[in-house]
Chain A
Amino acid sequence: MTAGISGLEKPLRLAGMLLIAGLLVEAICLLWARPLAFILLVAAGGFLCAAGIVVYLYALVSARKATPEQ
């Protein structure tokens, strides 16, 4: 169990940081009512959040492959 966690730890942290960065961008864009805010929200915020989710999901899938059912 511990080995599984430590294997997941790094990608989980990376995913979390990407998601926090994406959410931070989203929050700034919501407060900053300018036309560029919308582009930033979709391009930067959307990319960071999507990357975070992909890293997390990939970590789940690869962790399951690494520790097959016993």
Chain B
Amino acid sequence: MRSSTILLLSLIVLSAVLIGVLVARPVVTATRGGKILAFFILFLLPSLSMTMGVSSELERSKSTEFCLSCHVMESHGRSLYVDDPGYLAAAHFQNHRVPADQACYTCHTNYAMFGGYRAKLNGLHHVYVQYFGKAQDPIRLYEPYNNRECLHCHLGARSFEEGAVHTADPDLLPAVKANKVSCLSSGCHDVVHNAGQLSNVKFWKGAK
């Protein structure tokens, strides 16, 4: 358990105990000091606990573990452990090109202003589908994958800007940067998760 969660749980328990004392002995609010204490216990502490709780849950929803806790994402989770550098998602995950504990969120949010919240709104739809609906088969992105998610890290990197394949055609890099040629679906890096075809692939021994 994360230390921030332990801290938050301690705050919740403290708040609940203090509220319990106030409920059992409301007479303590008779004095001026008691009224101030009641305001602190019945307004400030619960508000703080709830704000911190929502913030903590939002942060946790970025975690790889959280994304893969839905049954429908199981094969995508397994695809991160494919023992083949040609699998884009696996290569990024296994070599920590993206933070392993936030692998899904790192590549599947748009980094624009409020992008994180937009991704989370889509996430609410995912929760609805998990419990009450039926997921698409195969799972598809809401919109074509935007090169911006790749360029967030690769733009300016030597291997990207000066790579032999990237510079062979002088029109390629400007088109990629303008999102006119897709990194993933233009035939270059098109093996990403391939979650539906994992039955015959070898998996990394370090896989959990």
Q: Which residues of A are in contact with B by a Cβ distance under 8 Å?
A: 1-2, 4-5, 8-9, 12-13, 15-17, 19-20, 22-24, 26-27, 29-31, 33-39, 41-42, 45-46, 49, 52-53, 56-57
From B23, B47, B50, B57, A17 is in contact (CB under 8 Å) with B23
**Do the beta carbons of A27 and B57 come within 8 Å of each other?**
no
- A-B contact count, CB below 8 Å? 107
Task: For residue B73, give the distance in angstroms from its CB to the closest CB of chain A.
Answer: 10
List B contacts of A13 (CB < 8 A): 23, 26
**B8 in the interface, Cβ–Cβ < 8 Å?**
yes
Minimum C-beta distance from B127 to chain A (A): 5
In the assembled complex, the CB of A70 is this many whole angstroms from the nearest CB of chain B, namely 16
Do residues A8 and B29 form an inter-chain contact, with CB atoms below 8 A? yes
B130 within 8 A of A: yes
Whether a CB of chain A sits under 8 angstroms from the CB of B54 is: yes
> What secondary structure prevails in chain A residues at the interface with B?
helix
**0/1 per residue, B1-40, Cβ < 8 Å to A?**
0000100110011011001101100110110000000100
Tell me which of B15, B23, B61, B126 contacts A12 (CB under 8 A).
B23
Contact-size category for B? 35 or more
Return chain B residues, CB-CB under 8 Å to A9.
26
CB distance from A42 to the nearest CB of B (A): 6
With A17-B23, A20-B16 as given contacts, are A38 and B46 in contact (CB-CB < 8 Å)?
Answer: no
State the B residues within 8 Å of A (CB): 5, 8-9, 12-13, 15-16, 19-20, 22-23, 26-27, 29-30, 38, 42-43, 46-47, 49-50, 53-54, 56-58, 60-61, 65-66, 69-70, 123-124, 126-127, 130-131
How far is it, in angstroms, between the C-alpha of A17 and the C-alpha of B124 when the chains are bound?
Answer: 29
Q: A41 touching B53 by the CB < 8 A rule?
A: yes
Asked if B42 and A41 make an inter-chain contact with CB atoms under 8 angstroms apart, the answer reads: no
Known pairs A26-B49, A35-B69, A56-B42; A12 contacts B57 (CB<8 A) = no
